[in-house]
Structure 1
Amino acid sequence: MNTIFSVTQKQLYDFLLNVAPVRPVFIWGAPGIGKSAIVENFASELGLPCVSLLGSQLAPEDIIGVPQIKDGYSVFCPPKMIARNEPYCLFLDELNACSQEVQKAFYSLIHEQRIGEFILPEGTIVIGAGNRAQDSAIVKPMSSALINRMVHVQLRASHRDWLEWAYAHEIHPYVIEYIQMRPDHLWSEPPKTEEPFSTPRSWHMLSDCLYAYGKSLGETDIDILASSCLSPHTASQFKAFLKQIQSKYDLAKIINGELRWPDQPDERDLLYFMAQSLRAQLIKELPTEHTTLKANQRQLAFRAKDLIKDLSAISLEIAQMVVAEHKGEALPAWFMLEVIRDLPRLVAKKDG
């Protein structure tokens, strides 16, 4: 479902507010990105109870009910969870993880809001959600008949929306500060192997664990918690970030020339994190086109070239990492041209 238009958490809420009352909606998205939480909050805002059914755990009779003999006729009795007298939000989670037989049981429920002779209360909202095939999750092909009964939208992670939520829900300050510095680490693609990976949900779990340890949190505890919740690369960067907090080093001071790069052998993880942070800041703040460059951005670009030169003297590999393209993200082409052109001159000037 890569062709579906993707939206942020806030955009999805507005979409549901306008579309869900008139048509059933299906939300595609990676695990841990916040699909369930958004639907539950949406229902709460509307004053509707949210009834969740987990598609991967359903059998057809859980939807259509079981037959009983009444006046000589068989009558299907719908499940109590669904057969309610007042309107509610019916959330069909992991809908595309259920079997083809269960999918068929949903046809009339989704399209006509009806199960046999029982009609859902007027004002009831039906929303489905599920992971994508590329997410290494339990998913099954969704029949074309079921797809065509719903309006589809894809949810993507937004660090701005998530940070706003994180402040409101008092997520641990370490987590908030880290995502502010490295918003690209909020979410990572689910791995093909069985290992933790970074999602908004896993950062929330890490926050709870950090609070649980409280003041007794030690370096070993941080190693264990970060590795237990986050992608391996992000976990190592988060540990280096906390080490940076406890040290004298600060990226702003390094950029301003108040401090130099950490250059001791036992500071290599810290150096790597600071260099990654510089790269992230350059990608975020430098414009794509040189013609739109502002004075402060020009000053940052000039200083960054000096810092990359100094960094290469400590670790050529880490300096190359700063300027290399990674996962489709690269420094602006005009800046790379200046680095290639000016770096030999800067080195020669220093040697002279």
Structure 2
Amino acid sequence: MNLGIHVTQTKLLDVLLHVAVARPVFIWGAPGIGKSSLVQSFARQVGLPCVSLLGSQLAPEDIIGVPQIVEGKSRFCPPGMIAREEPYCLFLDELNACSQEVQKSFYSLIHERRVGDYHLPEGSIVIGAGNRAQDSAIVKPMSSALINRMFHVQLNVSYQEWMSWAYENGIHPYVLQFLEVRPDYLWSQPPKTEEPFSTPRSWHMLSDILYEYGEAIDNETVGILARGCLTPQHAAQFQAFHKNIQGKYQLNRILEGEATFPSAPEDRDILYFLADSFRAQIRKELPADKSQVTDQHKRFAHRAKALLKELSMISLEMAQMVVAKHEEGNALPSWFVVEVVRDLPRLAAERRDG
């Protein structure tokens, strides 16, 4: 499902505080972006214990219970984790990974807050969550009856909000410093193949592992750890960042004219990292609309073109990568590209040929 309108973590908490107390809510979103932790945070805010059920591991009897004979009549007795006396937040994680039979067992629980003769205590809250079909996750079609019983909202990653959380919660300095340079690497679309990919959860995982290794960790080990958590390209860039973290080739020093791009063959991985970061910095600094360009933007654009010329003298391939067309939503401002074509004809020719 794609709702067309997405919310950040902060906005979703606000929605839950107003909607979930009245109606069941279903949160859609990619894996690893914090759906589960956000629901748990919400439950703490409203002062309710959070009971999580993992839909992909449930059978119908895990919800409706098993029949027992009471006074000569059969009665279904729901499991103890559901049949509670005090109000609570019931979190149905991976709800759309359930089989159709398990989904049917949720109908009365979601719509009427009831399982057989048992009713959830007054004040209880029901929240579901699941991945989308395009996320290469295990999902099954949800019936229209189940969809229509819930309010739906789609969660997206907010770089600013996650970084604020990361600083407050002691995420490893290497991770913070790298993502300050490459904010676009916080999350990547789940791949079609079986390989790690970058999400807030995987960056948190890498942070925990780096802390376990301590300060004496070598660059080869950093590469192994990064490749076990992140999108392969992001992992290679993180390893190059770590290799250069105490070195002289810092992008901010290059932008300010205090250093130059590395030219030694053994520093090619660092050059790639810096060139890719340079591209990201251009996208960050320059507005897409030329009518919004200020004198400060013009000065940065002039400096960027000078650095592109310097970079092309070291590696035309790297300079071309900076200005090359990338996927939609990750392009340099068109007005800046026009200036590059005008002012750097050699680079522009190579760009057209590519």
| TM-score normalised per structure 1 | 0.96
Asked whether the 8 Å contact 2:20–2:125 carries over to 1, the reply is yes
Asked whether the 8 Å contact 1:113–1:120 carries over to 2, the reply is yes
1:132-281 aligned at under 5 Å gives the runs 132-281=132-281
Aligned length: 347
Residue of structure 1 equivalent to 2:34: 34
CA displacement at 1:27 relative to structure 2: 0.6
Residue of structure 1 equivalent to 2:338: 337
Cα distance in 2 for residues equivalent to 1:218 and 1:345: 40
Amino acid in structure 2 at the alignment position of 1:198: S
CA displacement at 1:4 relative to structure 2: 4.1
Asked whether the 8 Å contact 2:113–2:119 carries over to 1, the reply is yes
Matched, 1:294 2:270: no
Large movers: runs of 4+ above 6 Å: none
What CA deviation, in whole Å up to 9, does each residue of 1:31-67 have, x standing for no partner?
A: 1111000001110111100000010111111111111
Residue of structure 1 equivalent to 2:352: none
Unaligned runs of 5+ in 2: 349-354
Asked whether the 8 Å contact 1:4–1:153 carries over to 2, the reply is no
Asked whether the 8 Å contact 2:163–2:176 carries over to 1, the reply is yes
Cα distance in 1 for residues equivalent to 2:258 and 2:309: 17
Asked whether the 8 Å contact 1:222–1:239 carries over to 2, the reply is yes
Amino acid in structure 2 at the alignment position of 1:243: K
Cα distance in 2 for residues equivalent to 1:250 and 1:208: 25
Asked whether the 8 Å contact 1:275–1:318 carries over to 2, the reply is yes
Asked whether the 8 Å contact 1:198–1:234 carries over to 2, the reply is yes
CA displacement at 1:231 relative to structure 2: 0.7
Cα distance in 1 for residues equivalent to 2:304 and 2:19: 47
Residue of structure 1 equivalent to 2:58: 58
1:15-30 aligned at under 5 Å gives the runs 15-30=15-30
Asked whether the 8 Å contact 1:32–1:201 carries over to 2, the reply is yes
CA displacement at 1:189 relative to structure 2: 0.9
Asked whether the 8 Å contact 2:172–2:207 carries over to 1, the reply is yes
CA displacement at 1:265 relative to structure 2: 0.6
Cα distance in 2 for residues equivalent to 1:135 and 1:285: 31
SS at match of 1:152: strand
What CA deviation, in whole Å up to 9, does each residue of 1:289-330 have, x standing for no partner?
A: 222211221111001011111111111111111112222111
What CA deviation, in whole Å up to 9, does each residue of 1:104-125 have, x standing for no partner?
A: 0000000110111111011101
Amino acid in structure 1 at the alignment position of 2:140: K
SS at match of 1:37: helix
Residue of structure 2 equivalent to 1:3: 3
RMSD: 1.4
Cα distance in 1 for residues equivalent to 2:327 and 2:10: 26
CA displacement at 1:7 relative to structure 2: 1.0
Cα distance in 2 for residues equivalent to 1:345 and 1:193: 38
What CA deviation, in whole Å up to 9, does each residue of 1:58-107 have, x standing for no partner?
A: 11111111111111111111111111111100000000001000000000
Residue of structure 1 equivalent to 2:323: 323
Asked whether the 8 Å contact 2:28–2:154 carries over to 1, the reply is yes
Asked whether the 8 Å contact 1:58–1:102 carries over to 2, the reply is yes
What CA deviation, in whole Å up to 9, does each residue of 1:128-183 have, x standing for no partner?
A: 00111111111111111001111111111111011011011100011011111111
Alignment identity in percent?
A: 66
Cα distance in 1 for residues equivalent to 2:195 and 2:83: 40
SS at match of 2:69: strand
SS at match of 1:215: coil
What CA deviation, in whole Å up to 9, does each residue of 1:202-226 have, x standing for no partner?
A: 0000000000001231112101101
What CA deviation, in whole Å up to 9, does each residue of 1:254-307 have, x standing for no partner?
A: 112111111111111111111111111111110122222112211110010111
Asked whether the 8 Å contact 2:3–2:154 carries over to 1, the reply is no
Residue of structure 2 equivalent to 1:308: 308
Unaligned runs of 5+ in 1: 348-352
| TM-score normalised per structure 2 | 0.96
Matched, 1:76 2:86: no
CA displacement at 1:3 relative to structure 2: 3.0
Amino acid in structure 1 at the alignment position of 2:153: V
CA displacement at 1:345 relative to structure 2: 9.5
